[in-house]
Chain A
Amino acid sequence: EVQLVESGGGLIQSGRSLRLSCAASGFAFENYAMHWVRRAPEKGLEWVSSINSNGFSVATAHSVKGRFTISRDNAKNTLYLQINGLGVEDTAFYYCAKGTNDVVEAGFLDYWGQGTLLSVSS
């Protein structure tokens, strides 16, 4: 059974940094691209960042580029999202999701985690 478990969220002051993690199990993690998607309160789903299977190719939304860095450790079956210079606009549930191939481009997301809530205070 595919499982994705996010962690690392919480209440944090603006301007600080933190790293979200996503522990994966139940599939060959090293063979698939992985993705982060967020949903802010009263807003819709927003794609944040993606990384290919070997970690050498990434894509990041313009809205967070320069502050968000996606990475992965295939030996630990774990996906990460480093967030620097937090702002109140980053308050959201952050979900990790599994891609259906090994590349970043296109496709769809077949499994999602339950999400971790990040609340940024001013």
Chain B
Amino acid sequence: QSVLTQPPSVSGAPGRRVTISCTGSNSNIGAGHDVHWYQHLPGTAPKLLIYSNTNRPSGVPDRFSASKSGTSASLAITGLQTEDEADYYCQSYDSSLTSPFVFGTGTRVTVL
């Protein structure tokens, strides 16, 4: 079981806004470690969506944004599009573990 908890699923109609939470603790997000977000369609290459809490790599639409506060982080998708239907994962570092990478439990986004 991951130390970063996400809702199993979120859904929204095309054009709407959805948010995905990533809840951690004082040994990961709350300790100041950066949060990164990935998009993944099973069977394809995962894609970096947001790095270092709020930054979008080149080529990622500005419909995707993220924030971090306290022991949690969140990813927002505005103007939801059908191609956004995928699994989304947060990732950080946990100082209580020996793993340099900890992924969240993952959230399936469904476009209604």
Q: Which residue of B lies closest to A42 (CB)?
A: B42
Q: Is A12 at the interface (CB under 8 A from chain B)? A: no
Whether the pair A45, B100 counts as a contact (CB closer than 8 A) is: no
Q: How far is the CB of B15 from chain A (nearest CB, A)?
A: 28
Complex interface: chain B residues within 8 A of A39 (CB): 40, 42
Judged by DSSP, the binding face of B is loop
Residues of chain A with a CB closer than 8 A to B93's CB:
105-106
Query: A104-B100, A106-B93, A108-B34 given as contacts; is B47 within 8 A of A44 (CB)?
Result: no
Identify which of A45, A100, A107 contacts B46 (C-beta below 8 A).
A45
Q: Are B99 and A47 in contact (CB under 8 A)?
A: yes
The answer to whether B89 and A61 touch across the interface, beta carbons within 8 angstroms, is no
Question: Are B99 and A95 in contact (CB-based, < 8 A)?
Answer: no
CB-based contact A112/B47 at 8 Å: yes
A residues less than 8 Å from B89 (CB atoms): 44-45
- A108 engages B48 (CB within 8 Å): yes
SS class of chain A's interface: helix, strand, loop or mixed?
A: strand
C-alpha spacing A64/B58, complex, angstroms: 34
Closest residue to B89 on the A side, CB-wise?
A: A45
Q: For chain A, give the interface size range.
A: 20 to 34
The A40-86 residues at the B interface (CB cut-off 8 A) are: 44-47, 50, 59, 61-62
Query: Which B residues are in CB contact (< 8 Å) with A9?
Result: none
Within the complex, the shortest CB–CB distance from B32 to chain A, in Å, comes to: 11
A32 at the interface (CB under 8 A from B): no
Given contacts A44-B106, A45-B106, A108-B52, contact A113 B100 (CB under 8 A): no
What is the interface of chain B, defined by CB distance below 8 A to chain A? 2, 33-34, 36, 38, 40, 42-48, 51-52, 57, 87, 89, 91, 93, 98-106
Interchain Cβ contacts under 8 Å between A and B, 23 examples: A37-B46, A39-B40, A44-B2, A44-B87, A44-B106, A45-B89, A45-B91, A45-B103, A47-B99, A50-B101, A93-B43, A95-B46, A97-B46, A104-B100, A108-B34, A108-B36, A108-B48, A109-B36, A109-B91, A110-B48, A110-B51, A114-B44, A115-B43
